[in-house]
């Protein structure tokens, strides 16, 4: 069924109001009719099976709530991806695939070796486009929570935000790293715990040139773990998917 995300204030006791682009998509693109079924997510982990009851042209659709359930499509931990700006449109692919792999937040950042650079005058437009890509990916893959794409930040701000997570994985091809597999095996019980608030995991990926020794040192000083991703050098657009797949194996698939 088509899937849509709404804020809590759009949900009443027995019905949900879909407006704007979602309503237009239902009416014009999907050409749905009264009586058709949709799934609505409240971005808090709840899913609503609904039936369309009325249209107000193509900018407002009312749906009747038939069933409410707690979604099972979210990982047991909250994963934040910090991705150094890559060249070209690679970031769009990274965002799409990261959403499919379960991230809850994506934070682009600038590092020393980034070829691409943040342009403040274009940042708002680019962030809006990236958020739309994340939203479409979340709908397509059946997510129940809508991941957030943040504005681009500087390296030091990235370190500060990543260090606030319960586990920080600084992916680094230099010396002094610990194997990603070793770290995930050691942290598995904590990452899969269902008691209390879901643990947060920061995954930090460099640009095409990786990270400098100075950046790796500053990351370690902030308590982040320098982890190695194996014997092969991965492209920046591959690395995040690789790490997220490993996290999924440990927390969701290796039962």
Chain segment 97-146, per-residue pLDDT in tens: 999 999 999 999 999 999 989 999 999 999 999 999 999 999 999 888 89
**Whose CA is closest to 189, among 119, 254, 108, 124?**
254
Output the six-digit token pair for 213.
């020794």
Residues belonging to the chain: 255
Stretch 167-183: mean pLDDT = 94
Mutual angle of helices 236-248 and 90-100, in 10-degree steps: 10
Q: Other C-beta atoms within 10 Å of 164: how many?
A: 13
Domains and CATH numbers, the chain: 3-70 (2.40.240.20), 78-253 (3.40.1280.10)
pLDDT given at position 248: 94
pLDDT given at position 58: 67
Q: How far is CA 94 from CA 66, 147, 190, 245, in A?
A: 36, 13, 27, 13
Q: Is the pLDDT of residue 198 over 90?
A: no
What does the DSSP 8-state code read for residue 210? B
Output the six-digit token pair for 36.
């058709």
Give the span between the Cα atoms of 12 and 40, in whole angstroms. 13
- What confidence tier does 42 reach under pLDDT thresholds 50, 70, 90? confident
Q: How far is CA 139 from CA 6, 38, 40, 67, 208, in A?
A: 12, 12, 10, 19, 30
What does the DSSP 8-state code read for residue 214? H
pTM here is 0.87
């Amino acid at each position: 069924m088509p899937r849509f995300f709404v804020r809590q204030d759009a949900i009443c006791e027995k019905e949900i109001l879909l407006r704007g682009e979602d309503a237009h998509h239902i009416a014009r693109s999907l050409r749905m009719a009264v009586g058709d079924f949709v799934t609505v997510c409240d971005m808090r982990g709840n899913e609503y099976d609904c039936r369309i009851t009325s249209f107000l042209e193509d900018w407002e659709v009312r749906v009747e709530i038939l069933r409410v359930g707690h979604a099972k499509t979210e990982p047991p931990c909250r994963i934040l991806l910090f991705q150094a700006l890559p060249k070209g449109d690679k970031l769009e692919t990274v965002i799409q695939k990261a959403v499919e792999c379960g991230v809850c937040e994506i934070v682009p950042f600038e590092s020393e070796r980034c070829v691409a650079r943040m342009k403040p005058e274009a940042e708002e437009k680019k962030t809006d486009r990236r958020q739309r890509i994340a939203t479409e990916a979340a709908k397509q893959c059946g997510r129940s929570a809508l991941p957030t794409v943040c504005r681009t930040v500087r390296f030091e701000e990235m370190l500060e935000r990543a260090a606030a997570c319960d586990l920080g994985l600084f992916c680094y091809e230099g010396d002094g790293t610990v194997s990603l597999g070793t770290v995930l095996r050691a942290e598995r019980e904590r990452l899969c715990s269902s008691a209390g608030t879901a643990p947060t995991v920061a995954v930090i990926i460099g640009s095409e040139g990786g990270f400098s020794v100075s950046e790796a040192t500053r990351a370690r000083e902030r308590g982040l773990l320098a982890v190695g991703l194996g014997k092969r050098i991965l492209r920046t657009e591959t690395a995040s998917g690789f790490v997220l797949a490993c996290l999924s194996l440990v927390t969701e698939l290796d039962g």
